[in-house]
Amino acid sequence: MSIAIPSPSALNFLAGLFAGAGINMLTSVSTGPPDPEISTLKVALDSALWVIAAAFLTWAAHLLEAAEREADLYIAKKFNEAEKKELRQEYRSRALRRARLPLVLTGLSLVSAVLLLPGLIGWHRVLGG
Amino acid sequence: MTDEPPDGWMTVNALGPEPDAFKLLGAARQDLLVQLPSSGGRRAALHVLPEASIEFTDRVGHGLVVRVEALGGATEVRLSETALRAASTSASAGITPLVLLSCALSGEALRAEWRPQRVGHAQLPSQATLDYYSRLHRVTPGSSKVAEELAAGHDVMVVGDHGCGKSALVANVAEQRLDQGDGVVWLNMSDPADGPASIVLALLQQDSSATGEYLVVLENLHANLLVRNTLFSCLERLRSDFGLRLQVLATSWKSAAALLRHGEPNRALKSVLAEGRQLINQLLVGSRLDDTARATVRSLAQNDAHIALTAMELYGTLGRVPTEADLEEHYTRAVTGAGQQEALYRLACLGVLEFQMAVREAGRLRQPLEQLRVAGLVYLIDGAYQIGPRRRAQLVMNHARDRWDADQRWHRPEEIVLMHLHHGGERLMKATLSRLDLLVSPDEARPDSLYLLTSWDILIRLGRSLRSRNAADPTWGDNLGAAVFAASALRQLNHPDAWEEIANWLRARWDYADPGCLLPEPVDGETADYADFVEIQQSMVEEDTLLGAEPHLAGMVAGQLDTGRMYRNWVLGLLLGFEGSAPPQHYDESRVKQLVEVAARAREDDGNFYPARVPWVTARVVLGLCQADLRMDHPVVRDACNWLMRQVAQGGPFDNWWRSGTGSWNREEATTAMCLSALVRAGVEMRPGMQTAHAWLMGREREWTIPGREIDLSQVLEANLHCTATAAGTREHLQTLFHRMRTEMKNPTLLPTAPEERLRIPFVAAQLADIVWSIVQMESLKLYGDLFNHRPPEPPEVPQQRVAPVPAESPNRKLLTDRQLRAWQRGVEQIEQAIREQIAMRDGPVRTSAMQEAVDQLVNDRKELFVLTELLDGEFDVDPLARIDALGRRICEETWPELPWPDPPTQREPER
């Protein structure tokens, strides 16, 4: 069974979205009207988590991209299509193994960032504050 | 040997011999300042301040302290007194004061043991070459990517096959940078003298750039992988110490690129793939060729953009797409006289392996090369003559071999390349060996090093040790064997003077000039190693005693042995090898001829050399004949080889392997190795019997690796190399052998009780030199593909069928002429080479199931080819030919030539 491995460009695109979300959040707080309901520190932390998630995802995309480049350099003209396909798949699988850490870290950052979104969960109520 | 003083040291040289330190340093300062290009308000990229100070210190010795600065920083370097003395007295290295300063700035330690070595100059290609590159250059995805990466501030490495237009791409960038006012340093790494000091020298000489930016072009980085670390360290230092804004643009093979990227972390080179196919497409887009002509150009060019450009240019004059023959004619046009032909052929042979011929090495070929340069057939770049792209070199080489009989007149291409390496000095040899060590092919890096470079270093030391021993006693204790083996090693390690000393003694010591003599005869009594043969007889007696009533397989008992005759036969083999492989300036054809005649008289009726009980004597004579360039087509060699392969039951010595016949004096492993080497070197194909013997020999590893049995080990390694034609299984044991020899050199243990010990070191040294050279040749051929073997089909001698006949419709038995047979044999060699290459390119860190299947298929193809090769003879079925042709088309694809098909017998013998 072959695993569908995301392409580096898709990961980079997602990373761009995450970073954009984080930065957008920061700029909207800094340029928008002050809201006593929302803690600026919490927003800053949340936006930082978005950016960190983007950074981890870029790391993962870089690993996959490097693997593709490796595969390109290894593949010779005389290789047949099946060999080329398998080699690329093999390099990607290896890269995916190396990319586990950044992907897990992306997931964690992302979950934390979502949970910290202002207004999504009233943490003071949940924690009985 | 006295050395003329080099240029640039006028004031120092005016001081006379051995000036005192103060005067020397003062004069050197004056000479250095004279050379600085900063006159008239100009300022060099690396600017030397005129206030160089003299420093006297007992701790590190006296020296000249020079301060060098650039826009972003400055640093001081110290030119030691010893280095100044060495540089100012050695003309051969051509170290001027400025070159010495660049050596110091590039990080070379100018200590007492520093020896001046030539420094190559970084020079931009000539305007004519740049114009050619601009004609070739087109915007391709690769060139756009390079521009993008450079704009992003990265260092870039353009990787790609030969002729894909890497240099044209880089030249285009360099010209753009020059137009912008940037500085450009162009270093072609093909010259082994080019390195970090060359870059610094260029920066010391060229003006500071208007923009403060510099582009460092490193062309053919794969050509000298040895300097890669020092080169990049130097560039880093230039950036950090002087704040120079340097950007690197390199070209390299794909395989070398992988090595460079896996280097140090600060070497962030961005690889960009340049593809010849894309460049050719762009070239064709702008041409007026129709679709058919375009397809023909693509097929002719085989992804070489230079060939495509020439083909398009010739299209205008010929009115059609040229053929390979037209290209050959075009590249050899206006060549007149033997001198020009030889010069062009030699340059082509070197060009096939991307070597050049430095002007100072050209010697008598200088004038014809200059004429060829004027005619536009060769180029002079960076102080060296070049023929141009590799494919062009190949076409010229093939043309010369076909039309000018170049092989016979001026040596085979492999020999020319090896001679070039021999005479090119240590750095060229080391650069070549490191490339072979690290790369399997332009596409594939080697997973495990072959350690050729390490081996070469040890061999060099071994050669020096032998030379000093030889200087003390060129007769080697009146021991013929030791002297001959030492001579062989000394010749291969480039000590012809030491070889001559041995030859002077040996030629006077043994006589074979008498036209009727049956064997060589010693002058003034037997040589010392005759005593060994007396002991050998004793050992044979002991063997006979152990055998008891059973007679020896050869039917000869030790008591019947004529020791003198056996010894002289052995000497005959040694003398043949000695004279046959003499250095060119000492080669005496009449002596070789006399010895071959003696061998013809000395052989027994069934082809062996006395005694039949001891096959290694026959093997030694066969090896000697091979060194005299005789092979299986010579009756003496053929009969001796046939006898060696004859079974014991049929009166021969072969019994699945070869027994020594000399009891415990020689071991069976060594005898078998020697017989196998003799057979393979004589040109005998690996028959099943030889494969059995080889398998047996390799299974006896525990025996021949025992410490103290270095002679056996070296013989087995040589035999294995010859039998398998690959260095893969040899590497580990070669290391062991080198390690033992190194220990031996440090603590020589000469055991007087074992006469064999006297020739151990020279023998093993000669074998090692042989082995390393064989590996170099084998791996060179693998690295550069079948360039030397591939030849275009020969012109037809009779009308040929160009289409493979259908076996069912034509009579099966056909006759091949000798010419046709040779063409098919070359085709088979080409397929073998292609299979080997294709297997090697899949021998990487990753192996998938599809790759395994492809390798299995290739292995099966090789088996099939082996079977078909067995059938390849003068008269045979057409079917194997059709199968070879199909195999060739499948494996070699577009490089597979049209081979001449045999004529049906009906054309030769009309039916009555």
Kindly report, residue by residue over B15-58, the tens digit of the pLDDT: 777 778 778 888 888 888 877 765 566 788 888 887 767 776 66
pLDDT of the residue at B39: 57
pLDDT of the residue at B551: 57
**Among B458, B459, B450, B355, residue whose Cα is nearest residue B397:** B355
Share of chain B above pLDDT 90, in %: 16
Contacts of A94 in chain B (CB under 8 A): 846
Inform me whether the pLDDT recorded for B783 exceeds 70: no
With an 8 Å Cβ cutoff, are B257 and A73 in contact? yes
Assess if residue A42 is contained within a domain. yes
Nearest-CB residue to A72 (from B273, B842, B853):
B273
Q: Residue B243 has which token pair? A: 């704040």
Nearest chain A Cα to B446, which residue? A74
pLDDT of the residue at B24: 82
Assess if residue A2 is contained within a domain. no
**Among B329, B284, B279, residue whose Cα is nearest residue B305:** B279
Neighbours of A54 (CB within 10 A): 25
Contact B668, B659 (CB under 8 A): yes
Inform me whether the pLDDT recorded for B785 exceeds 60: no
Neighbours of B801 (CB within 10 A): 13
With an 8 Å Cβ cutoff, are A86 and B844 in contact? no
Query: Any chain A CB within 8 A of the CB of B447?
Result: no
Contact B347, B386 (CB under 8 A): yes
Nearest chain A Cα to B275, which residue? A77
Inform me whether the pLDDT recorded for B767 exceeds 80: yes
In total, the C-beta contacts within 8 angstroms joining chain A to chain B are 44
**What kind and span of H or E run contains B814?**
strand B813-815
Assess if residue A93 is contained within a domain. yes
Query: Any chain A CB within 8 A of the CB of B848?
Result: yes
Inform me whether the pLDDT recorded for B748 exceeds 80: no
Contact B21, B40 (CB under 8 A): no
Inform me whether the pLDDT recorded for B808 exceeds 80: no
With an 8 Å Cβ cutoff, are A76 and B443 in contact? yes
With an 8 Å Cβ cutoff, are B848 and A74 in contact? no
Domains defined along chain B, listed by start? 10-105 (no CATH), 127-274 (3.40.50.300), 277-322 (no CATH), 329-410 (1.10.10), 452-783 (1.50.10.20), 807-908 (no CATH)
Contacts of A72 in chain B (CB under 8 A): 273
Residue with tokens 């009989």: B405
With an 8 Å Cβ cutoff, are A86 and B258 in contact? no
Stretch B681-694: mean pLDDT: 89
Contacts of B848 in chain A (CB under 8 A): 83, 86-87, 89-90
pLDDT of the residue at B344: 92
Taking any CB pair shorter than 8 Å as contact, residues of chain A touching chain B are: 69-70, 72-74, 76-80, 82-83, 85-87, 89-91, 94
Assess if residue A77 is contained within a domain. yes
Nearest chain A Cα to B303, which residue? A77
pLDDT of the residue at B292: 84
Query: Any chain A CB within 8 A of the CB of B444?
Result: yes
Least confident of A81-95, B107-121, B339-353: B107-121
Inform me whether the pLDDT recorded for B635 exceeds 90: yes
Least confident of A103-107, B361-365, B375-379: B361-365
Inform me whether the pLDDT recorded for B554 exceeds 70: no
pLDDT of the residue at B910: 38
Q: Please, which pLDDT band fits residue B262 given cuts at 50, 70 and 90? A: low
**What kind and span of H or E run contains B489?**
helix B480-492
pLDDT of the residue at B804: 43
Q: Residue A63 has which token pair? A: 């690993």
Q: Residue B87 has which token pair? A: 């540089």
pLDDT of the residue at B864: 84
**Angle B279-B280-B282 (CA atoms, 0-180°, nearest 5)?**
65
Stretch B352-360: mean pLDDT: 79
Nearest-neighbour CA in chain A from B858: distance (Å) = 12
pLDDT of the residue at B881: 82
> Residue B15: what are its φ and ψ, rounded to 5°?
-75, -15
Nearest chain A Cα to B892, which residue? A78
> Residue B252: what are its φ and ψ, rounded to 5°?
-165, 170
pLDDT digits 0-9 by tens, B156-206: 989 888 788 888 999 999 999 988 888 999 988 878 888 899 999 888 888
Inform me whether the pLDDT recorded for B523 exceeds 70: yes
Contacts of B443 in chain A (CB under 8 A): 76-77
pLDDT of the residue at A105: 95
Residues 228-267 of B with CB under 8 A from A: 254, 257-258
**Angstrom distance (rounded) from CA B653 to CA B527:** 29
pLDDT digits 0-9 by tens, B117-157: 788 888 888 787 888 888 888 888 888 889 888 888 888 98
Nearest-CB residue to A74 (from B273, B846, B849):
B846
> Residue B570: what are its φ and ψ, rounded to 5°?
-65, -45
Inform me whether the pLDDT recorded for B801 exceeds 60: no
Strand segments (E) across B727-808: none
pLDDT digits 0-9 by tens, B732-742: 788 888 888 77
Nearest-neighbour CA in chain A from B330: distance (Å) = 30
Q: Residue B524 has which token pair? A: 């003034």
Inform me whether the pLDDT recorded for B876 exceeds 80: no
pLDDT of the residue at A53: 95
With an 8 Å Cβ cutoff, are A73 and B258 in contact? yes
Nearest chain A Cα to B894, which residue? A78
pLDDT digits 0-9 by tens, B404-462: 888 778 877 777 877 787 777 777 777 777 777 777 666 667 766 666 777 777 778 88
Nearest chain B Cα to A87, which residue? B848
- Contacts by A6-9, CB closer than 8 A, 24 or more apart: A6/A64, A7/A64, A8/A61, A8/A62, A8/A64, A8/A65, A8/A68, A9/A61
Query: Any chain A CB within 8 A of the CB of B844?
Result: yes
Parallel, antiparallel or unpaired: strands B183-188 and B213-219 = parallel
Assess if residue A3 is contained within a domain. no
Nearest-neighbour CA in chain A from B66: distance (Å) = 45
Nearest-CB residue to A69 (from B271, B443, B851):
B271
With an 8 Å Cβ cutoff, are B254 and A83 in contact? no
Nearest-neighbour CA in chain B from A75: distance (Å) = 8
Inform me whether the pLDDT recorded for A56 exceeds 80: yes
Least confident of A26-35, B1-10, B199-208, B824-833: B1-10
A22: containing domain = 8-121
Q: Residue B664 has which token pair? A: 């415990």
Nearest-neighbour CA in chain B from A67: distance (Å) = 12
pLDDT of the residue at B91: 65
Nearest-CB residue to A83 (from B271, B444, B851):
B851
Q: Residue B794 has which token pair? A: 């020969």
Cβ-proximal residues to B886 (8 Å cutoff; 6+ apart), any chain = none
With an 8 Å Cβ cutoff, are A82 and B850 in contact? yes
**Angstrom distance (rounded) from CA B837 to CA B839:** 5
Assess if residue A73 is contained within a domain. yes
pLDDT of the residue at A44: 86
Q: What is the mean pLDDT of chain B?
A: 81
pLDDT of the residue at B814: 55
Q: Residue B334 has which token pair? A: 């206006």
Contact B106, B147 (CB under 8 A): no
- Contacts by B732-737, CB closer than 8 A, 24 or more apart: B733/B705, B734/B451, B734/B455, B734/B768, B734/B771, B735/B451, B735/B454, B735/B455, B736/B705, B737/B710, B737/B713, B737/B764, B737/B768
ipTM summary value: 0.71
With an 8 Å Cβ cutoff, are A86 and B271 in contact? no
**Angstrom distance (rounded) from CA B307 to CA B326:** 11
Q: Residue B448 has which token pair? A: 């495990």
Assess if residue A128 is contained within a domain. no
Helix %, strand %, coil % of chain A (to 5):
75, 0, 25
User: CA separation (Å) from B657 to B201, B698, B700?
Assistant: 62, 12, 12
pLDDT digits 0-9 by tens, B104-126: 888 877 777 777 778 888 888 87
Inform me whether the pLDDT recorded for B800 exceeds 60: no
Decide which of B675 and B778 is more confident. Answer: B675
pLDDT of the residue at B67: 85
Assess if residue A126 is contained within a domain. no
**Angstrom distance (rounded) from CA A48 to CA A44:** 6
Stretch B779-807: mean pLDDT: 48
Stretch B352-369: mean pLDDT: 82
Q: Residue B222 has which token pair? A: 């794969």
| Tally of CA atoms within 13 A in the half-sphere of B588 that contains its CB | 14
Q: What is the mean pLDDT of chain A?
A: 85
Stretch B716-744: mean pLDDT: 80
- Which among B119-123, B528-532, B741-745, B869-873 has the top mean pLDDT? B528-532
pLDDT of the residue at B905: 46
**Number of domains observed in the structure of chain A:** 1
Contacts of A66 in chain B (CB under 8 A): none
